[in-house]
Amino acid sequence: MLRPSVSVLLFAALALGSFLVFRYSSTRTVKAESIRPASERKPAPDFALKDADGRTVHLSDYRGKVVLLDFWATWCGPCRMEIPWFIEMQRENKDRGFEVLGVSMDDNGWEDVKPFLAEMQVNYRIVIGNDRTAEVYGGVESLPTTFLIDREGRIAVVHVGLTSRKDIQDGVEQLLQAGSKVDIDRSMVSALSLRTR
């Protein structure tokens, strides 16, 4: 019989003891991912997403540049820790053919994201992502998830979760220098060609 006033322990009634038992493993120690050899890199899927000005952004627009593609959200503490690093990386490496591109997974979209961008003075492009984008990138199940993409538009490394600033910077530098090395090699070939004439 239900008494006129009753406290219900949702714990007992819900029978959802297992719903918060995640399938994700959290306690393992994760070693930083390494840059994959060029021959093992797969193409980064293209997308068409809107930025804060309503312009459509395609990943393919960035071909020829090293891209740090960051899936994040305003409600994600680890994401918020990394973003200042990315702001600095964008400032320091923009002239070397590097771009950060943020994909926000905020359900409330620009309503939540624009104030955050203003507060943090984010200096790189942000687009609003969707389930389809996450799906083509292998199913982005947790945030932050960061892809480093080489100048040929291939995924060189994926970092899932908060990663050390140094590991990300080292990866960016490695990809930037790979592009520089190609340029140096080409100029040497040109110089040799001139000399042999």
Partner 1 sequence: MTVEPGFHVNSNAPSEDYLIPLKVAWTSKGALEGGDVVYPRASSEKYEFSDKPLSVFTGTFEIAANFKVAAGAPAGPGMAAGKLSYQACNARMCFPPAKVDISVPYQVD
Which residues of this protein are in contact with partner 1, per CB under 8 A? 1-11, 13-14, 16-22, 24, 26-27, 30, 73-81, 105, 107, 112, 116, 141-144, 160-162
Query: Distances from the Cα of 132 to the Cαs of 35, 49, 105, 116, in angstroms?
Result: 26, 11, 11, 24
Count of beta carbons in the 10 Å neighbourhood of residue 176: 18
Q: Which is nearer to partner 1, 46 or 141 (CB)?
A: 141
The CB-of-86 to partner 1 minimum distance in angstroms stands at 14
Q: Which is nearer to partner 1, 93 or 133 (CB)?
A: 133
Angle between helices 110-120 and 77-93 (to 10 degrees): 60
Q: Which is nearer to partner 1, 4 or 37 (CB)?
A: 4
The CB-of-14 to partner 1 minimum distance in angstroms stands at 5
The CB-of-141 to partner 1 minimum distance in angstroms stands at 7
Q: Which is nearer to partner 1, 61 or 112 (CB)?
A: 112
The CB-of-89 to partner 1 minimum distance in angstroms stands at 18
- What is the rounded CA–CA span in Å between residue 79 and residue 81? 5
